Amino acid sequence: MPQFTPSTENFFSSFANPVQATFVSMIIWALMGTIYGGSTVIFEQERWSIIRQTFSHFLITYILVTPLSILAGMPFNLTIFWGYTLNYCVVYFIIWLATMFFSRRMVEQLNEKIPK
């Protein structure tokens, strides 16, 4: 049976034992989750446009999560970095687009309930 590793072999081999590697990996992933969860306060800035909110959120999450991804074992070379960046942008855009679609739909449904 293959042995579970919490990250790449390179990351895993830099620790004395699997427990340490798993613990550090868990901390890194928890920090990533905290960044994504905490950065949503940007969308509570009512005076900001949705474009400013989105761009700020994107930059903050990208800038803070990227080094953590490298710490978590993502190999760092230019080709992988650009692939990571492209994937990050595409996934972010898809999630943003879906969120905007569902938010707009919810607003339309709420507006229909307002008596005219």
Could you tell me the mean pLDDT of each successive run of 10 residues in the chain, 116 residues long? 70 86 92 96 93 95 96 90 96 94 92 85
What is the spatial distance between Cα 69 and Cα 76, in angstroms, rounded to a whole number?
Answer: 10
Could you tell me if residue 1 is inside a domain? no
Domain assignment present for 95: yes
Q: Which two tokens mark 84?
A: 């990571």
Region of 5 please: left (phi>0), alpha (psi -120 to 50) or beta: beta
Residue 3 lies in a domain: no
Domain coverage including residue 55: 9-113
Please check whether residue 4 lies inside any domain of the structure. Answer: no
pTM of the model: 0.81
In a domain, 61, yes or no: yes
Q: Is residue 2 part of a domain?
A: no
The confidence score (pLDDT) of residue 4 equals 67
| The token pair that represents 111 in the structure block | 């507006």
Domain count of the chain? 1
Q: Which residues, in sequence order, are CB contacts of 71 under 8 Å at separation 6+?
A: 28
Q: Tell me, what amino acid is at 21?
A: A
Angle of helix 78-113 versus helix 50-71 axis, rounded to 10: 140
